Amino acid sequence: MTPGGFTDLRLNGTSNEVQEGFWPSFTDIMTVVVMIFLISMVVLLLRNMELVNQLRATMEAERIAAELARATDEEKDSLSSALHRAEERVQQMRLEIMRLQEKGLRSENLIAQQLRAISGLTNERDDLAQQAAQLALLRQRLEADVEQRRAQIDSAMKALDEKQIQLNVAQRSISTLEQTTEQLRSRLAENQAQTERLQRTVSEQRESLEQARLNEQEVERRYLVLASDFDNLKVKYDKLVRPARSSTGRHLIEVKYWKADGKYRMSWREGGEGSFQEIRRSRLEKILQRLSNEKKNGLYVKVIFPEESGLSYSEAWKFTSELHGRYDYYFKDEENEKKKP
């Protein structure tokens, strides 16, 4: 029972507080509608019983009137008038019955409409109850989700604290690295200054080396000039002291010497006849050594430098001196005299 004296017809009367706050007004409305429907039904049934009783009374009256009409002819006229009145009354009663029937039909239609409304409200109540149950489940799920999110937030906060600690460590490391970088920059600046000093020193040394090379070239040029002067003086001396160098009575060997594509080339012929044949120096020296041993009068070695030979003076002088000193009779005798004590 509710505090107002009505029976509590609500479903799930002991459910959670959300449903208890939602259903009271709806249940009260439904209770009033049902009571109205029941009262209407009672009234309609009472009216129908009254009409049935009246109809029965009228039919009984008609039966009695007919019997009286058949029983006596004397009372026919009076009964006829009574019957007429009775028929009029019956007609009125029939009209009343029809009116009551129409009224009952309207009541039935109204009751049917009310029943349909009650059915709709009942379905709506069931839908609302289902929605309330779904909302309760949703609330439980949301509460569970909220708890889970809180746990995730707590975990995230812990992770954030750890990240903050790592960030602080990283910032300290960055500060240390910045200090180290600043020190390295200072060292780099010192090294760059030292490098610049070394570069200036190297540049000065290069200039000195270039000057030394120029001096060396000048010395070599002077040496070649002196060597040429010495050769001229030696020739003049030989002309004054020794007989002139001559191929008469000597075995003539002619050697061409030049330089092509960075390589030394040579060719030779024997006796002043025939064409020159290209030969390697090792092979040429073996032949000259053999001929020098075979020819008792000695060899006259004539060195020929073609035009555009590609040789420098020192290269030409060196080759000529080596061949003459080893195999030419004139210079070979001179070397032997120098070796005598």
pLDDT tens sequence across 210-238: 898 888 888 877 877 786 677 667 656 66
Say if 193 falls within a structural domain.
no
Q: Give the whole-angstrom CA distance, residue 281 versus residue 320.
A: 13
- pLDDT of residue 81 exceeding 80: no
Say if 4 falls within a structural domain.
no
Q: Which pLDDT belongs to residue 2?
A: 52
Say if 173 falls within a structural domain.
no
Q: Which pLDDT belongs to residue 26?
A: 75
Say if 294 falls within a structural domain.
yes
pLDDT (average), residues 137-160: 86
Q: Which pLDDT belongs to residue 288?
A: 94
Say if 215 falls within a structural domain.
no
Task: With residue 251 as reference, give the H or E element that holds it.
Answer: strand 251-260
Tracing tokens 């020739």 back to the chain, one arrives at: 235
Is residue 144 located within the same domain as residue 257? no
Task: With residue 257 as reference, give the H or E element that holds it.
Answer: strand 251-260
Report the chain's mean pLDDT, rounded to a whole number: 82
Say if 228 falls within a structural domain.
no
Domains identified in the chain, total number: 2
b or e along 256-277 (b: 16 or more beta carbons within 10 Å of the residue's beta carbon)? bbbbeeeeebbbbeeeeeeeee
Joined together, the tokens standing for residue 134 give 């779904």
Residue 44 structural domain: 17-151
Say if 219 falls within a structural domain.
no
pTM higher than 0.85: no
Is residue 146 located within the same domain as residue 22? yes
Select from 151, 183, 199 the last residue of a domain: 151
Select from 119, 151, 183 the last residue of a domain: 151
Say if 200 falls within a structural domain.
no
Is residue 141 located within the same domain as residue 24? yes
In the chain, % of residues over pLDDT 90: 20
Select from 103, 126, 151 the last residue of a domain: 151
Q: Give the whole-angstrom CA distance, residue 269 versus residue 242.
A: 28
